[in-house]
Structures are given as C-alpha cells and as structure tokens.
C-alpha cells in the first residue's frame, strides 16, 4: 500500500487571523486538508480516521491532512476562508456554512441502516428528577455545540413542539460542546437531562463509555438528514470528481466505521431545507449562530 507519512493534527481556532477568501480560479493543490466534525474528543476522532487518511491518499494520490477544529464555528470559518478543502459537517453546521459561503458544495451523505437520515435522542439520569419531557420544565437541559443539529437544533425544536418548552424561558439551556460531554454529564447526574445524536449514543454504549443502566431514554426526534461531506467549489473539475468518487465508491468497512455509516450516497442541498425551516420555527438568526 502506498502510504505516505502522516501529517500532524492541525487544530484551528477563531483566534487565528482570518485570511482573504480563496480565488475563483480552479485549484488542484498537492495537499488536501480534510476536516472532521468536532462532535467528540479530537484525539479519538483523529485516531479513528487514520484509515480514511490512508484511503484518500491512495485514491487521490495526494497528501491528506486531517483537521479537527476547536468547535463548529471555527470549522465553518475555516471552510469559508479556504483553510480546508473537504469537510464533514453536521447537517445544521452545513446549513450555517452554506449561508456564509454559498460556493461550497455538499456532494455525499452518509447512509446507515439503508437510510440517509438519523435521529436525536433525549436522555435523562436514571433515578433522577426527569422522567418525562414535561419534567424538563424549570431544570437545566444539556445540549452540545450551538451549531449542532442532533445535540441542539433538533431536540430544542422537539421540546418546543411536543412539550411546549421554550429554551431559556421554560428550562435552562446548558451547552457542553460535544455529544459525548452531554452523555457523560447526564450519566453522572451533573445535569438531569440532555440530547445528542442517537448513533453517537449507541457508539458510546458500545465503547463502554456510557453505562445504559445509568441513563434512560425520554424520546427521539423526527428524522434528520444525515451528515454531508462538502468541498470547496473552486477546486479543479477533475479533482472534484476524484474526491466525489473516493467517497461515493467507498467500500472499506473500517473507513466507513469512522463516519458511523455503511455507505455514502450523492447529496442534495435541498435535503437540508428542513433544517432551515426548523431554525425559523425557533426564531434563530443564522447570521448570529456561533
């Protein structure tokens, strides 16, 4: 196997000076920076994605640098200002990125159990004060990053629709950053309830990070369009097609496992309109979400 030497982990921060947007000319760089969604611990993400790095280096004949940004907002800005070429976004963080950088393209979406959608799960501490959605009233509720779909947008809308609970009015909104941080905090009883991606929750149980006896399921949300893979729109056409093929033709189960999917299918921006509509229901100004 033609394995190039691994490049070090790059951590990006909004504290770094912003560069000017990349030019409109087609680009064919020798190195591609591929960003992973920062929804879990960075070192875990990088370790699990090493098979992806090897796969892309072999398929594209280019050096691949795996990137984990400090948070969702810095990932959006990195894509906006051309600091990364390919990015694995959450559904809502993609919507935010697209609103700020219309030229980026969603080209692939994960398929799991035959579906290109997933759900958010709302959980509570076993034996704790929250046993139903109604019990959330007047108490803290844990979310992940503000730009997270399944650990903020979807469950927050679910609480409003199903239990008439409005965040920061009927309960205290607590942002903990990542999905695993929410699950750990609920398990430890640091917060009585919270929400995260159901596939990530299952993975945390499989890894024995979370003890299923210490948490209870409150509910799940409606289906959410799955995480899209995106790329810069100004890349050379032949490179864009090669990147597209590298994901859509991906068969290696070890590589796919890093994304918690069984395959990738072609993506459509229109599939994410439901999240734009959900943000409107929650009266969220996309320009102000960080």
Q: Which CATH class is domain 120-222?
A: alpha beta
pLDDT value of residue 25? 60
- pLDDT < 50 regions, the chain: 1-23
CATH superfamily assigned to domain 31-113+226-288 = Periplasmic binding protein-like II (3.40.190.10)
Give the Cβ contact number of residue 289 at 10 Å: 19
Backbone phi, psi, residue 33, to 5° = -95, 120
| pTM, rounded to two decimals | 0.77
Closest CA to 56 of 47, 65, 48: 65
pLDDT value of residue 225? 93
Asked if 286 contacts 95 with a C-beta cutoff of 8 angstroms, the reply is yes
Residue ranges of domains in the chain: 31-113+226-288, 120-222
Asked if 24 contacts 82 with a C-beta cutoff of 8 angstroms, the reply is no
Give the Cβ contact number of residue 251 at 10 Å: 8
Burial of 128 by CB count in 10 Å (0-12 exposed, 13-18 middle, 19+ buried)? Answer: middle
pLDDT value of residue 257? 87
Q: Alpha-carbon distance 113 to 215, whole Å? A: 24
pLDDT value of residue 290? 66
pLDDT (tens digit per residue) in 62-85: 999 999 999 889 999 999 999 999
Taking each continuous run of H as one helix and of E as one strand, the counts in the chain are 10, 13
Q: Alpha-carbon distance 154 to 241, whole Å? A: 32
- Alpha helices, DSSP H, located in the chain: 42-48, 50-60, 72-80, 91-100, 154-163, 179-188, 198-206, 237-248, 253-257, 273-281
β-bridge pairing 31-36 and 86-88: parallel
Burial of 264 by CB count in 10 Å (0-12 exposed, 13-18 middle, 19+ buried)? Answer: buried
β-bridge pairing 172-175 and 140-143: parallel
Establish whether domains 31-113+226-288 and 120-222 are of one fold: yes
Q: CA dihedral defined by 165, 190, 155, 48, rounded to 10 degrees?
A: 170
């Amino acid at each position: 196997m033609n394995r190039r030497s691994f490049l070090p982990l790059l951590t990006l921060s909004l504290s770094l000076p912003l560069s000017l947007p990349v030019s409109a000319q087609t680009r064919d760089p020798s190195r591609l920076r591929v960003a992973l969604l920062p929804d879990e611990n960075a070192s875990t993400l990088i370790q699990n994605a090493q098979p992806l790095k090897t796969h892309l280096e072999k398929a594209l004949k280019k050096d691949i640098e795996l990137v984990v940004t400090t948070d969702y907002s810095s990932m959006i800005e990195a894509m906006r200002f051309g600091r990364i070429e390919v990015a694995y976004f959450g559904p809502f963080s993609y919507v935010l990125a697209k609103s700020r950088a219309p030229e980026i393209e969603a080209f692939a979406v994960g398929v799991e159990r035959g579906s290109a959608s997933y759900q958010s799960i709302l959980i509570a501490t076993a034996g704790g004060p929250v046993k139903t959605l109604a019990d959330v009233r007047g108490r803290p509720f844990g979310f992940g990053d503000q730009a997270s779909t399944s650990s903020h947008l979807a469950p927050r809308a679910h609480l409003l629709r199903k239990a008439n609970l409005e965040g920061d009015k009927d309960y205290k909104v607590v942002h903990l950053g990542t999905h695993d941080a929410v699950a750990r905090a609920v398990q430890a009883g640091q917060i009585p309830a919270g929400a995260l991606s159901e596939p990530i929750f299952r993975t945390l149980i499989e890894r024995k990070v979370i003890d299923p006896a210490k948490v209870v399921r409150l509910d799940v949300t409606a289906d959410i369009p799955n995480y899209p893979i995106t790329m810069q729109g100004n890349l050379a056409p032949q490179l864009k097609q090669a990147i597209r093929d590298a994901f859509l033709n991906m068969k290696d189960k070890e590589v796919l496992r890093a994304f918690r999917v069984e395959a990738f299918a072609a993506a459509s921006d229109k599939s994410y309109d439901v999240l734009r509509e959900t943000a409107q229901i929650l009266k969220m100004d996309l320009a102000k979400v960080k």
